[in-house]
Structure 1
Amino acid sequence: MAQKQTSFGQRAVDYTVNLVIRGAIGLALILPYETRVRGMGWLTSHVLAPIGGFRKRVRSNLAHVMPDLPKTEVERMARAVPDNVGRTLIEIYSGEEFVQRAITAPIEGPGLACLEAARDAGRPVILVTGHMGNYDAVRANLIHRGYNMGALYRRMSNPYFNEHYVRSISKIGTPMFEQGRKGMIEMVRHIKAGGILGILTDLYVQDGEPLDFFGQKARTSLITAELALKFDAALIPVYGLRNPDGLTFRIVAQDEIPHSDPLTMTQAVNDGLETLVRENMDQWFWIHRRWKYATRPLQPKKAPPKSKA
């Protein structure tokens, strides 16, 4: 009985939170595009972030990995990071208006030549990305350039919000593959056909490996490297950064990660992302629990016991 009550209570909370978010998005969509993006950034930074604990999370993460950062910079980040998050959310819900800005973004960095070489050779590509600027700007841009671009996504814990969020990201482009058995089967078909797959991998993963990120151990998924090795795919880190005007983008395609082993390759991805974040501190989503349970010592995962003959 207690379990059912808790389940009902959580559903009630999820439903209420979804109503609030959908209401804010609906009102924002009435406004002209530029006003809506700036306004949603301000609303998230000044209203939703303090209520939702986003500012506290930003401060906590920065204290964990950059304890010497000046207090004035920490407070600036506590406001700027949620602003970018709010802009990103409403941009994704803005459909074609957002896509038209994303497709004009220039692509810079050595990864572009690697991507073009893979396409010419019919070789699959795993694009590893993270919560920087607006990550969906990359997908919209590459689809417009004619790349067979798919994306792997994880279902959100709030089922009411997940339903319309997936509809919105699907309007930017398809195919979309949900984590799970069916989605993985469809994703493998896409890769084997020489397609491009985008995966966000900068979140805490419970069964991930404790790899370095900003000088601390962070549980990190090895899936991108494992897929690249399994299907002989090029592994290329690529990120959509927001320009100083707050409305347009540039895309940074870092150099292809050489094939070696999953740990080495994934650590190289972490290192490249850290370099980019340090150059664009307020564009990474510091609101995530990237170093979850940071007070506990992280140990490498133990290999499963060998079965006896």
Structure 2
Amino acid sequence: MKAPDEPHPTLRHRVTDAAFRGLLALARALPYERRVPMAGWVVSRLVAPLAGWRMRIRDNLALTFPDMPESEVARLVRAVPDNVGRTMIEMYSGREFVKRVRDLPFTGPGVAALEGAHRAGRPVIVVTGHFGNFNAARAVFMARGFRLGGLYRPMKNPLFNAHYLDAMALISTPLFPRGREGMGQMLRFLKSGGMLGILLDQHMRHGAALQFMGQRALTATSAADLALKYGADVIPVYGIRKPGGLDFEIVVEDLIPHGDPRAMTQAINDSLEGQVRAHMDQWFWIHRRWKPGPASS
């Protein structure tokens, strides 16, 4: 797949992409069961310190869990980037990853609502976060014949963006680029009864000032706004990594009732927070989630 209006690649883009492809080729030479933990180790032990992720994880934990024992902080500093590395290589493992997860069952209290919406052809906003590996859930949706689309932000490196999109498309389609054209495609898809996956756990400068992990977190209300406008159900879904690090549980939580968009979005935050507290090492603590900025009223 190719994003519309791609910028021309620079020398830096070419060098970065060539280095990434080289590492990817080395990783893919390993059997899947060795490749995934190896990628986790590389990102945890080599990439994280160079990228400054360890300090960011510590800063976020100090803000949200100031009394956390140092031993647990040290564990998460290693375990969080490990999950990031595993998630990345799983996406780039394409058919091997899909084959491993596609037959997983949906579990949790929201399964009946999700399957009922699918049978009725009713639109659904599937809300989640950068937690576990949502691509596992995407693969299960696709294998079951559920029409699950996703909105993505094109990457600045057009060479990287091209193979990133190809990897994402092997798991599920359609994919909609951010921007006027992509938004129009996405809305038509949703109105036709499609399901749309949205990750809502990143800082939004003009978002609503809500709570997440006990702190003020500016959060987009877009999922609630779309649901109210187009009559879509809002259902949280998570791909939770199981002990051992290679397999997943696909958890579907209770439907979020329609109401005030801020209250709906807070309920989404609360759903994700519950999962994060239960699996602290599976959320992307490398995000700058709690930044100051103007908030919508």
Q: Same fold (TM over 0.5)?
A: yes
Distance 2:157 2:220 in 1: 22
1:45-194 matches, cutoff 5 A? 45-194=44-193
Map 1:294-305; keep pairs closer than 5 Å: 300-301=295-296
Confirm or deny: 8 A CA contact 2:127 2:199 kept in the other structure: yes
Amino acid at match of 1:92: M
Q: After TM superposition, give the deviation of residue 142 of structure 1 in Å.
A: 0.8
Once the two structures are overlaid, the 10-residue window that deviates more, 246-255 or 20-29, is 20-29
Instruction: Give the number of aligned pairs.
Output: 290
Secondary structure of the equivalent of 2:250? strand
Displacement of 1:292: 2.5
Offset at residue 67 of structure 1 (A): 0.8
Contact 1:81 1:282 survives alignment (8 Å) = yes
Structure 1 residue 161: deviation in Å? 2.1
* Shift, 1:112, TM fit: 1.1
1:119: how far off? 1.7
**Maintained 8 Å contact 1:105/1:248:** no
Secondary structure (helix, strand or coil) at the match of 1:265 reads helix
Contact preservation (8 Å) 1:28, 1:40: yes
Change beyond 3 A, Cα 1:210–1:156: farther
**RMSD after superposition:** 1.7
Change (3 A) 1:20 1:61: farther
Which amino acid in 1 is paired with 2:29?
I
Q: Which residue of 1 aligns with 2:243?
A: 244
* Distance in 1, Cα, partners of 2:150 & 2:23: 27
TM-score, normalising length: structure 2: 0.93
State how far apart, in whole Å, the 2-side matches of 1:157 and 1:287 are. 20
Q: Using the TM superposition, give the Cα deviation of residue 82 of structure 1 relative to its aligned residue in structure 2, in angstroms.
A: 0.4
Instruction: Measure how far apart 1:13 and its partner are.
Output: 5.0
Contact 2:205-2:295 at 8 Å conserved across structures: no
In 2: Cα distance, 1:241 partner to 1:155 partner: 26
Corresponding position of 1:209: 208
Residues 65 and 214 of structure 1 are in contact (CA less than 8 Å); yes or no, is this contact kept in structure 2? Answer: yes
Amino acid at match of 2:103: T
Contact 2:218 2:295 in 1 (8 A): no
The match for 2:3 is: none
AA of the residue aligned to 2:296 = K
Q: Equivalent residue of 1:247, what SS?
A: coil
> Which one has a bigger Cα radius of gyration?
1
Q: In structure 1, what is the equivalent of residue 226 of structure 2?
A: 227
Counterpart AA for 2:295: P
Q: Which residue of 2 aligns with 1:305?
A: none
CA distance in structure 2 between the aligned counterparts of 1:273 and 1:247, rounded to whole angstroms: 22
Q: How far does residue 45 in structure 1 lie from its aligned partner after superposition? A: 0.5
Is contact 1:153-1:199 (8 Å) kept? no
- Check 1:36–1:134 CA distance in 2 against 1; reply closer, same or farther (3 A cut): same
Report the Cα offset of residue 16 of structure 1: 4.1
Q: 2:203 and 2:17 mapped to 1: Cα distance? A: 23
Deviation at 1:300, TM superposition (A): 3.2
CA distance in 2, matches of 1:61, 1:14: 31
Give 2:121's aligned amino acid: G
Percent identical: 53
Task: Compute the displacement of 1:22 (Å).
Answer: 2.6
Long gaps (5+) in structure 2: 1-7
Q: Distance in 1 between matches of 2:73 and 2:190?
A: 41
Distance 2:74 2:146 in 1: 40
Counterparts of 1:55 and 1:23, CA distance in 2: 25
CA contact (8 A) 1:210 1:220 kept: yes
Aligned partner of 1:218 in structure 2 is 217
Question: C-alpha offsets along residues 123-150 of structure 1, whole Å, 9 cap, x if unaligned?
Answer: 1111011111111111110110111111
